[in-house]
Amino acid sequence: MSDPVVPNPQPGSHRKKWIIRLGIVAVAMVGFAFLQVPLFRVFCTHLGIYVPADQKLAASTGPASPRTVTVSFSGVQADGMGIIFHPESTMQTVHVGQRAENHFVFENDSDKTVYFRAIHDIYPFQAATHLALIQCFCFTNQAMAPHTKKTLPVIYQVNRGMTQLISRVSIMYTLEPLAANAPAQEPSPIKQLLSGGAPGGE
């Protein structure tokens, strides 16, 4: 007696299964791409690796707290830039939830116009998610004519979400040289929001 004939699956059904599988893979890849940055931050935080501060952090609203935090300021520049800069106050004690202001003095000691950008870092890294830079020269590219001097403000706020385990925060600026035709930085959305659209770089 001959074996029963098993019908072959329809070619269309086979293609449909592969299309469904490819669709699932595509969705998974898109989801993984969106999760890369959050997972990277969680991984770095768990290992104690510093993640650069987010300039879009908003200042919290409401009354200031009686609790205080000490904020220190410092800066370094690349060799041969010709720019000398320093904070007017190297250390400030501020109330959590209250806006504070400091100033940096810049001087071009060279015989040429210098173009540069300030990059800021906040330490310890856990504080970066709770310190809002409301107005800062680091939001825009800078240019200084030979032998000129100017003072630029930094308005900031330590938000109330800052853990009580942190009592000292450091803000360090690094100056990086730019070409004369370097594209302008995009203004920070939070800077526009909190300043009512008024320019705040200088």
Rounded Cα distance, 68 and 191, in Å = 24
- pTM for this prediction: 0.62
Cα-based angle 117, 123, 125 (whole degrees, multiple of 5): 105
Write phi, then psi, for 180 (nearest 5 degrees). -60, -30
pLDDT in tens, 98-126: 999 999 999 999 999 999 999 999 999 99
Confidence of residue 80 (pLDDT cuts 50, 70, 90): confident
Confidence of residue 58 (pLDDT cuts 50, 70, 90): low
CATH architecture of 68-194: Sandwich (2.60)
Higher model confidence: residue 162 or residue 49?
162
Average confidence score pLDDT of the chain: 76
Percent of the chain with pLDDT over 70: 61
Note whether 75 and 175 are within 8 A (CB): yes
Rounded Cα distance, 22 and 77, in Å = 51
The residues spanned by each domain of the chain are 12-49, 68-194
pLDDT in tens, 20-55: 777 676 555 544 444 444 444 444 444 444 444 444
Take residue 191 and report the two structure tokens written for it: 């800077």
Note whether 186 and 148 are within 8 A (CB): no
Please list the residues that pair with 153 across neighbouring strands: 103
Q: What is the CA radius of gyration of the chain?
A: 26
